[in-house]
A and B are shown apart, each in its own frame.
Chain A
């Protein structure tokens, strides 16, 4: 087990209680908190003021590379060993569009998944406190902080309506 980052972990049953705690903690300067939930939730996203994920750039770049690769591969291979088929030109665009389309989708999808993985695990969560209830029905908020801030952060969580507050040992 990786060494835990010091901090406070609060569990919430109510979504509005969790967003209250997030907003208060953020105004106190704790902007690097991690919120766990079993499903994406718009209220939590709004409370955290999340920006749109840059994963779309991966999709775009992947799609463009796939499209270019599709045309480049088919045209180059046709010209590398020119064979007359069906009286069509060697570098026939209409039939190759089908292949370029398929590769656009293939590369776009693979780049999207790569983007999701890279971006999600750039900020690893394995050293943060976690509770198994967060994949079930509770919302978790982890605030990384030094031990002298523990009591202040715990107080904010309890005030907001946390059902359980713990801190890293």
Chain B
């Protein structure tokens, strides 16, 4: 069967509503186990965080000069995960890509929860967590404002805007679907969904403003998603640290973010479509297209890695050359090679259709992508800071249980929200799938 023939759903409107509404509520043992695991991980992170609050940042493995380490690495990792969601929901919406409809709701939810997770890390990292509001420009007793020339402040605004806009985009998309659920359930659930559907009836007037508004939201989210990871990359690129100070950083980070995000989409959706019995809605066709996106962004990463090494050599700057030599052959060679193998080389496996259409292979490779992209940020941040301009001041990070505890907790926090979302709200966009299915006609022949 060709790809064109698969891009339209084959169900009727009523079947779509029935199948998606059936995913809400309890899901049996598989789901409970996953949720239990997520909550357990979250508790590990929570306990670690309480200990950090009590005893201070000395608990984590910071070691001068590596004062940005696992927490900032994980922050960048989670911001990156968020990018695939907005790419799929906003950019592919503007391109009218038919395969996005089945997967976009799940990826958009992933975006919101990933950015929520990421937002915790700067707060954890600053040490005196209760003073995090100092990041915001507010009138204070010293009449002193924040430093808007710092990329860290740009980041506060970029992440804040991204979280707000992506949450808005998700909620706006959910309203018509919640209305469909409201009309298919009874009892107390109907009451709750009625409140959440804010009186949506699908009248022509509502659709008229909704469709336009959604289009503009997508048009605003598109440059936003490209800007957010660019701003995150400038947190590094604006500094003179060897290994950070590159003009390639913004596109390099955006491509990496989308690559890691699609990897996480595979990790989440492949088990979820089985648990929620959505194999006929999220098909191999959708997963294969996602795999092509992975191949595309992974190839950009491959190119960026190569260019980074080339520029380091061609620059003639000894500090740059040393940093890149140490990435491959220094004390953290294992991290450097994990990054290159899992990102540059694993992504090239997606040239093969057999791999793109093999769900087990996609799931296994997605784990490699997640690991590889975490290590990319680890290598860039920790590796570069450890080997600055003055060899006298070089140092190595010693990550310990407090670093890993918070990292594990972030996965728990993220998965917990995602799984709770999946059983509470439609994880497949009912309304957009219906829009793709032609309505039955009394007369034969198409529209005009």
Contact = CB atoms under 8 A, between A and B. Distances in A.
Contacts of B441: 14-16
Interface residues of A, number: 69
Interface in A77-122: 77-78, 80-81, 83, 85-86, 88, 92, 95-96, 98-99, 101-103, 105-106, 108-110, 112-113, 115-116, 119-121
B164 interface: yes
Contacts of A29: none
Nearest to A34: B203
Interface stretch (B73-81, B209-217, B253-261): B209-217
Contact of B443 (A16, A39, A102): A16
B137 A48 contact: no
Interface string B175-186: 010011011100
Interface in B136-195: 137, 143-150, 153-154, 157-158, 160-161, 164-165, 168-169, 172, 176, 179-180, 182-184
Interface in B384-404: none
A41 interface: yes
A44 B435 CA distance: 13
B149 A103 contact: no
A83 to B, nearest CB: 8
A35 B202 CA distance: 8
B164 A109 contact: yes
A-side interface mostly: helix
B161 A81 contact: no
Interface stretch (B11-19, B333-341, B368-376): B11-19
Given A13-B440, A112-B216, A137-B14, A45 B208 contact: yes
B-side interface mostly: helix
Given A55-B212, A77-B146, A139-B439, 13 more contacts: A34-B205, A38-B176, A39-B431, A40-B435, A45-B204, A53-B208, A81-B145, A115-B213, A120-B206, A120-B209, A132-B184, A134-B201, A135-B179
Interface of A: 13-17, 34-45, 48, 50, 52-53, 55-56, 59, 63, 73-74, 77-78, 80-81, 83, 85-86, 88, 92, 95-96, 98-99, 101-103, 105-106, 108-110, 112-113, 115-116, 119-121, 123-126, 128, 130, 132-137, 139, 161
